[in-house]
Amino acid sequence: MTLPVERSRSRRPVTWLTLIGVLLLPAVIGGILVGALYNPTDRLDNITAAIVNDDKAVELNGQLVPLGRQLTGGLVKGADDQPSNIDWVISNDDDAAAGLKDGTYTAVVTIPENFTAASLSTRPGETPEKATIDVQTAPDARVVDGAITAQLASTASSVFGTELSSQYLTNVFLGFTTLSDQLGTAASGAHQLADGASQAADGATALKDGLGQLSTGASGLADGASQLAAGAAPLADGATKLASGASALATGTRDAAAGVDKLATGADGIAAGNQQLATQINGLADQIPPGFSTDAQKLADAAPQVNTALVDAAAALQKAAAECTGTAEQCQALRDAADAANRALPQATQTVTQIGSLAGQAAQLPAGIRAIAAANQQLADGATGLAGGAREAATGLGTIAGGIDGVAGGGTQLADGARQFGTGAQALSSGAGQLASGVSLSEDGAAQLADGVGQVASGTSSLADGLDTAVEQLPTYTDAQATSLADVVADPVSATGVSDSLFGVAAVPLLAMAVLWFGGLASFVAFQAVSARALTSRRPSALVALRGFAPAALVGAVQGLLVAAVVQVASDYDWGDWAVFALVCVAAGIAFAAVHQALVAVFGGAGRWVAAVVGALALGASIVSTVPPALAAVASLLPTAPVYDAMLGALSSAGGVGAGVAGFVVWAVLSLIATTLIVVRRRTTTARAAAQPA
């Protein structure tokens, strides 16, 4: 069945089969392109890629850390928000290389053996190294396969690196908190140290003052001990003399006791032989020992000397007690001894005086006996009393003799003690002098110590203040704050509204525009742009032009509707947006029919070549923004530009639908005008041209 439509470059009419082919061509092409290219990430499992994990685990805190294995698991598992994932095959180096060569694998992701070691190289004491993975794409892989594989591997490694960075930064931020706590403890300790150093400086100053006083006291002690040593020698000499005199006094006292005892015996004889005494008195006088008078006289003569010695000894002892420079106990003992000697001195001197007087009288005994002989009767009456008194005197003299022996022994001991005291005092004087010298040196050292400790206190106080400042400036974080901040710092910038599809919202308008453009080109591959009967037609030139435009416009409108239907099936847009898009597609199909008619009418067969170039330029300038500015400028002037803008505005928030429609309507009107002018031109021809077929 044929249609009343002229076929291009043929006199045969267009059939329904040709018309259906032209109608379906854009829909088929658009369906194939949209079906093949729209949302490729939903069909990632059609891509087979190999993962080669050569990574060697690293021991960390006693546990093996296999980060390469974890990254492999992450790639194989995929993302929770991604409906599909590449068909990953865990392989080895040889199998991956062979599979990449024979086409089994589209790409190979290799994790090197130092991946874990490099990832953990941020630990203290190690040289930081960036962990890398290698991505290889098969030479015969499709255009976007490598980009998809590389993007997934790059995203996985970036996310994995972000997690490592987040963990590292979490430890860093928590380390700030730990460091702040430790610095706070150090600052507190520094304050305590500064306080202690200040107290130590005060103590060192007090020590210096005390050492000065000790040095002065030691010097005084040395002088006093030297004076004691000098006074001890006379004391020892006096004590020696006291001991010697006391010994002599004791001997004389014993002799006196013996004489008194004999006197008592004689008195007894007088008492017993009162009557015989007178007659025997001369004989008794003869019986008196020859040296008795001499001994008694010596005793009488020694009494004053003994008294003098006792007084001197008591005075010397008193002087020694008054000038005592020894210990408090020694001085008190000397004072007690001096007091005791002074108390006993009167009685002792009185006794010695009585003994001397008695001894003097005893020296005159022989003469007295003879005097007594004359008064023997009176002596007989008192002889009994005399005998008793004489015995008591003898006993007292014996006691005195024992006491004087004690005085002699004490004098000797006093002399020895005084000499030892003198030696000790001399040694004390020497030691005190050395002590004074050493303490003087220690005083200088204490002054230096006080200065040094003062500087330590000042420096420690400054250190404590600096640590306090550091603590105030160091941030502190809780575990939750550190984790949150680490996540932000590890990935500080994120993009929202970014689609993970390789073909964004502009892909469908671009494909629809392209297939409608080439659909319009197909129409005028089959249809005649200007009727071959234009020269002989009686219709106006505008109607002749519209007659050639009408079937192509109808086909373009149907093509636009079919393309819009295919897009809706593949993309499922909102029906309101799709309705606007469908109207734009119908209008664009009609406008493209007018433009292609004009191109073929003006340039003939070359017009189709120009149309193909325009379509390629429109596609090339709309795929990526890196197109050269000159090509982009030319593409913006083409009839495809307003169609693309209108379609994009219909399916997105870009807007500009009205301006785009106005733009391609202007192109359609200008194209119809150009076609009409060509029709007018073809209606004027030569006879030779009229004879040739169109």
Read off the pLDDT of residues 139-176 as tens digits, 9 standing for 90 and up: 655 545 555 666 656 665 665 556 655 555 565 555 55
- Residues 18-39 have pLDDT tens digits of 545 544 555 545 454 444 445 5
Does 457 lie in the same domain as 313? yes
Does 134 lie in the same domain as 57? yes
Cα 324 to the center of its chain, rounded Å: 68
- The domain boundary residue, chosen from 496, 513, 536: 496
| Number of domains present in the structure of the chain | 3
Collapsing DSSP to helix, strand or coil, 447 comes out as helix
User: Is residue 134 left, alpha or beta, with left meaning phi > 0 and alpha meaning psi from -120 to 50?
Assistant: beta
Which tops the pLDDT comparison, 202 or 77? 202
130 lies in some domain = yes
Which tops the pLDDT comparison, 323 or 627? 323
Q: Classify strands 134-137 and 107-111 as parallel, antiparallel or unpaired.
A: antiparallel
312 lies in some domain = yes
- 3 pLDDT tier (thresholds 50, 70, 90): very low
AA letter at 172: V
- The answer to whether residues 152 and 72 touch, using CB atoms and an 8 Å cutoff, is no
Give the integer Cα–Cα distance in Å for 125 and 117.
Answer: 13
Q: How many CA atoms lie within 13 A of 205 on its CB side?
A: 8
Does 554 lie in the same domain as 409? no
Q: Alpha helices of 273-291 — where are they, by DSSP H?
A: 274-287
Does 526 lie in the same domain as 430? no
94 pLDDT higher than 70: yes
> What is the DSSP annotation of 295-343?
HHHHHHHHHHHHHHHHHHHHHHHHHHHHT--S-HHHHHHHHHHHHHHHH
pLDDT of res. 493: 44
Token reading at 660: 């785009």
Does 521 lie in the same domain as 405? no
> What is the DSSP annotation of 9-30?
TSSSEEEHHHHHHHHHHHHHHH
592 lies in some domain = yes
Q: Name the phi and psi angles at 645, rounded to 5.
A: -60, -40
The 10 Å CB-count burial string (b at 16+, else e) for 139-152 is: eebeeebbebbeeb
Give the integer Cα–Cα distance in Å for 536 and 366.
Answer: 219
568 lies in some domain = yes
692 pLDDT higher than 80: no
Does 255 lie in the same domain as 137? no
Does 285 lie in the same domain as 366? yes
Q: Which residues contact 210 (CB under 8 A, 6 or more apart)?
A: none
- The answer to whether residues 460 and 193 touch, using CB atoms and an 8 Å cutoff, is yes
539 lies in some domain = yes
pLDDT of res. 32: 47
- Residues 234-268 have pLDDT tens digits of 766 776 776 777 677 668 767 766 766 776 677 67
- Mean of all residue pLDDT scores within the chain: 73
The DSSP secondary-structure symbol of 492 reads: -
The DSSP secondary-structure symbol of 496 reads: S
Does 550 lie in the same domain as 412? no
pLDDT of res. 673: 92
**Residues of the chain with pLDDT > 70: what percent?**
63
Which tops the pLDDT comparison, 73 or 45? 73
Does 445 lie in the same domain as 306? yes
Does 281 lie in the same domain as 347? yes
Q: Which residues contact 45 (CB under 8 A, 6 or more apart)?
A: 84, 85, 86, 87
- The answer to whether residues 77 and 90 touch, using CB atoms and an 8 Å cutoff, is no
482-485: list long-range contacts, CB under 8 Å, 24+ apart. 482/169, 482/170, 482/173, 482/174, 482/177, 483/166, 483/170, 485/169, 485/173
pLDDT of res. 502: 46
Q: Is 11 exposed, middle or buried (0-12, 13-18, 19+ CB in 10 A)?
A: exposed
pLDDT of res. 317: 77
The CATH number of residue 119's host domain is 3.40.1710
Average pLDDT in the 82-101 region? 80
Cα 135 to the center of its chain, rounded Å: 41
Q: Which CA distances in Å does 240 have to 111, 405, 430, 554? A: 113, 13, 27, 163
666 pLDDT higher than 90: yes
Domain span at residue 346 reads 248-471
- 87 pLDDT tier (thresholds 50, 70, 90): confident
439 lies in some domain = yes
SS (HEC) of 191-242? HHHHHHHHHHHHHHHHHHHHHHHHHHHHHHHHHHHHHHHHHHHHHHHHHHHH
